[in-house]
Chain A
């Protein structure tokens, strides 16, 4: 149940033209998500403002943007009751299409380079299972659930569409597929992620792990990949 409040919040939003921004004074409701704020702006202040959203339940990864510099899912991030101003920007490191909407193509190009799908080993008994208590499952499970929202890519500090780096999401995906004994393309993926634009470009800023809305830890995946390069992948 949302309640109207007499309080207002000052919202600064980046607009498409470089260096331009607009400030709105928006009436607060409690509780209020960042997405509620954007919808209020669009309905009551400026219908031309550009932003994206879809599922509202942290499944689609569409509404990712930056609040005070930090990448968030707008649909899942509440505004603290004592907050009286906020700044919203599009994701960093990706070309801006309009206002808060970015072109995710560079992100998905990196994603595609690690072959982000399972290539089944031939001759496995169907259905091929990995036991829940197996060490393999302990590696894979905490790295599942990526919604490809791009928050990690934005927070990376190294990943940028103008630079060569696979980025945290692609490396995390590669790690869990390499760990999967049902997958036949592990060696090929390990070669890809240990190339010059792969794991070595990570400087352990930990932005990726800090902002992941699903609680994944891509930095841990990168450390594991670096270890596997020396020790060989687990089999």
Chain B
């Protein structure tokens, strides 16, 4: 491994630690003052029973939106740096971009793809709530659509990303 590659791996590990840390802080704050239903065995029964309880899906979408937003932003910061290597150190750029072909990096890219897709579709859903004046029920319908699109496109994209590994 070259120095440029080692530095990239360290920086990427830093990004992952920051993302996990952000998730931990977010979940702690939500548990303290989020005011949502607790995740317990009884929750599934309550979700089936009451449409008011199912409004909780909007809350979880909010947390997922924040988490994916931070994850995409954190990686983007690193990505801007590794792309900009091309302008002053093309050799280092080539070395670093070899890493993107590693299996572990491809798995990370699949996760990133899911995060980008969810953040995008959920963001559009929030815009649609304002533009179309949607209530809780309709927004949950849109959320279902956002999740389905995320899963379908994410799986399709992941297949493309992982294809060279299995070739």
Contacts and interface: CB of A to CB of B under 8 A. Distances in A.
Interface residues of A, number: 32
B52 to A, nearest CB: 4
A207 B133 CA distance: 17
B59 A207 contact: yes
Contacts of B56: 207, 210
B135 interface: yes
A143 interface: no
B133 A227 contact: yes
Interface string B1-39: 000000000000000000000000000001011111110
B78 interface: no
B126 A206 contact: no
A110 interface: no
Contacts of A210: 52-53, 55-56, 136
Given A157-B59, A205-B58, A92 B135 contact: no
Interface residues of B, number: 27
Nearest to A80: B49
The 9 closest A-B pairs by CB, nearest first: A210-B55, A92-B35, A69-B38, A206-B136, A155-B35, A69-B37, A154-B35, A210-B52, A206-B58
Contacts of B59: 157, 205-207
A87 B35 CA distance: 13
Contacts of A92: 32-35
Contacts of A154: 35
Nearest to B66: A203
Contacts of B35: 66, 69, 71, 91-93, 154-157, 207
B139 A70 contact: no
A68 B139 contact: no
B70 interface: no
Nearest to B65: A203
A139 to B, nearest CB: 13
Q: Is the interface of B mostly helix, strand, loop or mixed?
A: helix
A217 B36 contact: no
Interface of B: 30, 32-38, 40, 42-43, 46, 52-53, 55-56, 58-59, 62, 65, 126, 129-130, 133, 135-136, 139
B17 to A, nearest CB: 26
Nearest to A89: B38
A91 B37 CA distance: 12
Nearest to A199: B130
A43 B53 CA distance: 32
A69 B139 contact: no
Contacts of A217: 135
Interface in A198-235: 203-207, 209-211, 217, 219-220, 223-224, 226-227
A180 interface: no
A176 B62 CA distance: 27
Interface in A26-73: 66, 68-71
Task: Report which residue of A69, A206, A219, A226 has the largest number of chain B beta carbons within 10 angstroms of its beta carbon.
Answer: A206
Contacts of B43: 68
Contacts of B37: 68-70
A168 B33 CA distance: 15
